[in-house]
């Protein structure tokens, strides 16, 4: 097998743009190379469930946003390669400043995070000085720094319920998750008008038809979906929650309304069961997150090899963003989440 480890002519770096212009030797076994580099560098690969199957298969830990944050906080590795999107890698850096945090493609953003620019949000928040700000983890460090507590889809309800009933709250940036938590807790949180492009694409009509064609299938959905879609669901939860549900539930068929990457672990955990991705409202593969899918095994290999692109952050911003993260992790630990 060809070894191109020191052959820079084949791997042209375009680091200032945050990505690699590559021509990797196709005979290279990237799975083996990545394993070797992980050991050499004492690196850990953390991957979100929306990553492509190959990346999930080389990861040391796969999880939802809460699990990934907890893992990023507790790891002893020197390098964290975050196979996810920018806000996730940034969160790992906020929690673990002494580690080198790498993201295979710096352009892996998030439509939900983009829907809440900190400058605009600050103006909005200043109008409600008596409100506490609970912010979904899918946001920038700048947004985190403006927040009182961060939450994820798996602890949002508990975090809201941990506050006194009469405490006015602003919930940002996901209006769908916010509306769902309002319904579950009977609160009336003020919602920022943000959403995820992937979870708003599902077609109610096509899901209804699919349910008729598969009467025994359970319909499960992520709380970033819109209310009419959630109203049809047998179970609503974070990616980890959805995966667990498919393992524990006795049904053999599931219609899954979230990003399609999660189906890989569902199928691996329950090979005898059938998983059907909920259809989008047009014929494209719009329930694939275009940002999550920017990461590839090749970029992961190069990023680990050259230790770039790296996430860096202003220390003042990091400390301000860490405070609401610490509060979230503290409340989660209290509830055993």
Q: Does 278 bind ligand SF4 (CB under 6 A)?
A: no
* Interface residue with ligand SF4, options 68, 85, 141, 169 (CB under 6 A): 85
Q: Tell me which of ligand 13P, ligand SF4, none is bound by residue 153, counting a contact when its beta carbon lies within the kind-specific cut-off of 5 to 8 angstroms.
A: ligand 13P
Q: Does 11 bind ligand SF4 (CB under 6 A)?
A: no
Q: Does 138 bind ligand SF4 (CB under 6 A)?
A: yes
Q: In the Cβ-directed half-sphere of 39, how many Cα atoms lie within 13 Å?
A: 5
Binders in 209-268 for ligand SF4, by CB under 6 A: 259
d(C-alpha 258, C-alpha 141), whole Å: 25
Q: Does 136 bind ligand SF4 (CB under 6 A)?
A: no
Residue 13: strand pairing partners: 20
Please, what is the minimum distance in Å from the beta carbon of residue 64 to ligand 13P? 3
Q: Does 49 bind ligand SF4 (CB under 6 A)?
A: no
Closer Cβ to ligand 13P, 125 or 144, answer by number: 144
d(C-alpha 74, C-alpha 279), whole Å: 38
* Interface residue with ligand SF4, options 197, 294, 313, 337 (CB under 6 A): 197
Q: Tell me which of ligand 13P, ligand SF4, none is bound by residue 291, counting a contact when its beta carbon lies within the kind-specific cut-off of 5 to 8 angstroms.
A: ligand SF4
Express the helix, strand and coil content of the chain in percent, nearest 5 each: 45, 20, 40
* Interface residue with ligand SF4, options 45, 58, 103, 112 (CB under 6 A): 112
Binders in 154-193 for ligand SF4, by CB under 6 A: none
Q: Does 106 bind ligand SF4 (CB under 6 A)?
A: no
d(C-alpha 261, C-alpha 85), whole Å: 14
- The string of DSSP codes covering 13-51 is EEGGGTEEEE---TTS-HHHHHHHHHHHHTEEEEEETTS
Q: Does 115 bind ligand 13P (CB under 6 A)?
A: no
Q: Does 111 bind ligand SF4 (CB under 6 A)?
A: yes
Q: Do residues 255 and 276 touch, judged by C-beta distance below 8 A?
A: yes
CA angle 192, 196, 200 (to 5 degrees): 105
Q: Does 64 bind ligand 13P (CB under 6 A)?
A: yes
**Residue for token digits 């409100």?**
131
């Amino acid at each position: 097998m060809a070894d191109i480890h020191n052959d820079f002519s084949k791997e042209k770096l375009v680091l200032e743009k945050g990505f690699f212009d590559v021509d990797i030797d196709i005979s290279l076994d990237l799975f083996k190379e990545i394993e070797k580099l992980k050991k050499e560098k004492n690196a850990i690969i953390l991957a979100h469930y929306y990553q492509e199957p190959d990346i999930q298969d080389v990861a040391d830990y796969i999880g939802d946003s809460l699990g990934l944050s907890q893992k990023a906080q507790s790891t002893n590795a020197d390098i964290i390669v975050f196979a996810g999107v920018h806000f996730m890698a940034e969160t790992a850096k906020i929690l673990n400043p002494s580690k080198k945090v790498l993201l295979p493609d710096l352009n892996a953003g998030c439509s939900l995070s983009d829907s809440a620019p900190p400058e605009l949000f600050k103006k909005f928040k200043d109008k409600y000085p008596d409100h506490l700000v609970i912010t979904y983890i899918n946001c920038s460090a700048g947004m985190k720094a403006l927040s009182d507590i961060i939450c994820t889809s798996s602890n949002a309800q508990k975090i809201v319920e941990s506050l006194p009933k009469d405490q006015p709250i602003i919930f940002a940036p996901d209006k769908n998750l916010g509306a769902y938590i309002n319904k579950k807790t009977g609160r009336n949180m003020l919602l920022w008008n943000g959403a995820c492009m992937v979870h708003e694409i599902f077609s109610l009509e096509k899901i209804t038809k699919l349910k008729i064609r598969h009467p025994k299938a359970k319909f499960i959905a992520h709380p970033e979906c819109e209310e009419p879609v959630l109203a049809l669901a047998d179970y609503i939860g974070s990616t980890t929650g959805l995966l667990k549900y498919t393992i524990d539930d006795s049904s053999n068929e599931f219609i899954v309304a979230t990003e399609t990457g999660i189906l890989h672990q569902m199928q691996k955990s329950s090979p005898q069961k059938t998983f059907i991705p909920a259809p989008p409202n047009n014929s494209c593969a719009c329930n694939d997150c275009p940002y999550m899918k920017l990461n590839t095994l090749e970029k992961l290999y190069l990023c680990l090899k050259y230790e770039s692109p790296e996430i860096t952050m202003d220390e003042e911003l990091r400390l301000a963003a860490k405070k609401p993260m610490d509060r979230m992790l503290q409340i989660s630990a209290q509830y055993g989440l």
